[in-house]
Structure 1
Amino acid sequence: MTEPADTGGISLDDRLADASGSLSAAERRVAEVVVADRELVAFGTVARIAERAGTSGATVVRFADRLGFSGFRGLQESVRAELSHRLLPAAARIRRPVSNDLVGSLGRSVAASLERTLRHLDPGEVDRAIRLLAGRRRRVFVMGGDAGSGVAHQVSVHLSMLREGVEELVGGAVEVGRTVARSGPDDVLVVIDLPRYDRAVLDVVAWARGRGVRTIAVTDSSLSPVAAGADVVLTVESHDVGPFDSYVSALAMGEVLVAGVAVRAGRSAVDRLDALESVWVDTDALSD
């Protein structure tokens, strides 16, 4: 059984976020293993984790203690409990008992997740992201993993309504590769990727970084694979509120970025929206 001190109502991601600034280089490598490979932590040994992180077993134990767990066993039990919940397929989640007040219960869960996301935001990081996205000489590429593709599409559409040079990266490796091949240090890539992380997205991020492209990562942890080496990391919660994970916080983050770009773009964004509206009216494209 996990001891009370090891749960305390604080999620592992929150513990990692709180401790990230005080971790040694070796402990940070352990943290990266914990974020990237929960299964290894849940079912592996101290020695295997130490080997993966390129450090000692003692460092793994110290890392667990630093997060507030009673040694490695406490960390391992916490990860196992999290996995047993996260890895439930939708078909199993939908069979769980639900509150009689379904709307109220889910509403409170979503509201709490959104509140925690916004409360933990670093205003400086948000401002850096907005400045990158508002730079008129920069091309902006937007890409989402399987879990973040819907949010990525919406962010791409809204940004393209405010400024030129916005392109959503979709399709296979060949198609995306053609676009990445013409990117450079003056460009920026927004990546929205949540568990379970999409290998294809990580490959694209690596290609783009190799070409000097500035990267903005919207993900669930500052230690997630997509955050490694990013110029800006914006973390959001993605816990489930029903059969599927909720992307409300990720969408809210996208809305924050879009709103910020609109403010910084100022008159040019107004003129662009006016031009779009004029075309829609002239072509009777929309029905009021």
Structure 2
Amino acid sequence: MTEPADTGAISLDDRLADASGSLSAAERRVAEVVVAYRELVAFGTVARIAERAGTSGATVVRFADRLGFSGFRGLQESVRADLSHRLLPAAARIRRPVSKDLVGSLGRSVAASLERTLRHLDPGEVDRAVRLLAGRRRRVFVMGGDAGSGVAHQVSVHLSMLREGVEELVGGAVEVGRTVARSGPDDVLVVIDLPRYDRAVLDVVAWARGRGVRTIAVTDSSLSPAAAGADVVLTVESHDVGPFDSYVSALAVGEVLVAGVAVRAGRSAVDRLDALESVWVDTDALSD
């Protein structure tokens, strides 16, 4: 895998993140279209995008200018470049030239992505997420898309070792629906979803929000479909490593949340871990 040249160019996602706090309501709707419907932006017209966002063509052009592009054409070219990278299948990625320094090349890429993710985490958002997850009367549900299911499982297992009432949402719509039907405003859902977004996850998020469940989204942008309407949004980078996207940053954010819950739960978490350790020792479950 070759390392991308450092041209100093600002990525589309970085432009969106930098501008998100200063966008008008109409411009924010355009931003949501850019994130959720990149194919439309890449190959559509100003009028089509304006229609999808429920605004005017002038607002679309103004949004492009606000992001620092030279009009809509500049925005469209950036989305096309981003889309071509995101949609490149593993079968194509695996055919790219590989650096002779494979460990060093991948290590630098993953380390840079992880460093940027942790540096840009909003401490206030992290604290809000930890407070929600540590609430003893809340049930906690954790769900990831197909590619993020491993991260979701790890977060779910570790949280369940610290507190009661943690459940990973897995299975088909019928099985997950039975669980969501029992949820309510006292509960919280952690969803881990990165491009390309998993429709099944987005459906569960919509169902849960409809029942008043508080939601924490771990995703690539505050404007992603998974983040829409979330109580807390924690953004991560997911650059490709070899043929596949890396979930290292998403796992790191999950570990931040787990560590925060351990601190906030205090003595109850200590007692719970002591009880687990005692059972494991008594049953000789682990080989040291």
* Partner Cα distance (2:283, 2:200) in 1: 39
Residues 4 and 52 (structure 1), Cα distance of their counterparts in 2 relative to 1, 3 Å cut: farther
After superposition, the CA RMSD in angstroms is 2.9
Structure 2 equivalent of residue 108 of structure 1: 108
Deviation of the 1:242 alpha carbon: 1.3
Deviation readout 1:73-126 (Å, 9 max, x if unpaired):
111111111111121111111111122111111111111111111111110000
* Partner Cα distance (2:156, 2:87) in 1: 30
Mapped contact 1:110–1:241 kept (Cα < 8 A): yes
Residues 5 and 279 (structure 1), Cα distance of their counterparts in 2 relative to 1, 3 Å cut: closer
Mapped contact 2:139–2:187 kept (Cα < 8 A): yes
Deviation of the 1:3 alpha carbon: 22
Residues 211 and 52 (structure 1), Cα distance of their counterparts in 2 relative to 1, 3 Å cut: same
List structure 1 segments (4+ residues) > 6 angstroms apart after TM superposition.
Answer: 1-7
Residues 46 and 3 (structure 1), Cα distance of their counterparts in 2 relative to 1, 3 Å cut: farther
Residues 105 and 3 (structure 1), Cα distance of their counterparts in 2 relative to 1, 3 Å cut: closer
Normalised by the length of structure 2, the TM-score is 0.96
Mapped contact 2:209–2:215 kept (Cα < 8 A): yes
* Partner Cα distance (2:84, 2:212) in 1: 39
Deviation readout 1:201-243 (Å, 9 max, x if unpaired):
1111111111111100000000001101000000000111211
Mapped contact 1:5–1:68 kept (Cα < 8 A): no
Mapped contact 2:148–2:193 kept (Cα < 8 A): yes
Residues 206 and 190 (structure 1), Cα distance of their counterparts in 2 relative to 1, 3 Å cut: same
Structure 1 equivalent of residue 282 of structure 2: 282
Deviation readout 1:132-158 (Å, 9 max, x if unpaired):
000111110001111211100000000
The 10-residue stretch of structure 1 (251-260 or 37-46) with the greater mean CA deviation from structure 2: 37-46
* Partner Cα distance (1:143, 1:206) in 2: 13
* Partner Cα distance (2:73, 2:50) in 1: 15
Normalised by the length of structure 1, the TM-score is 0.96
Helix, strand or coil: the match of 2:62? Answer: helix
* Partner Cα distance (1:240, 1:91) in 2: 13
* Partner Cα distance (2:224, 2:195) in 1: 9
Structure 1 equivalent of residue 210 of structure 2: 210
Residues 46 and 267 (structure 1), Cα distance of their counterparts in 2 relative to 1, 3 Å cut: same
Mapped contact 1:6–1:69 kept (Cα < 8 A): no
Deviation of the 1:172 alpha carbon: 0.8
Deviation readout 1:20-53 (Å, 9 max, x if unpaired):
0000111000000000011111111111101100
Aligned residue pair count: 288
Helix, strand or coil: the match of 1:234? Answer: strand
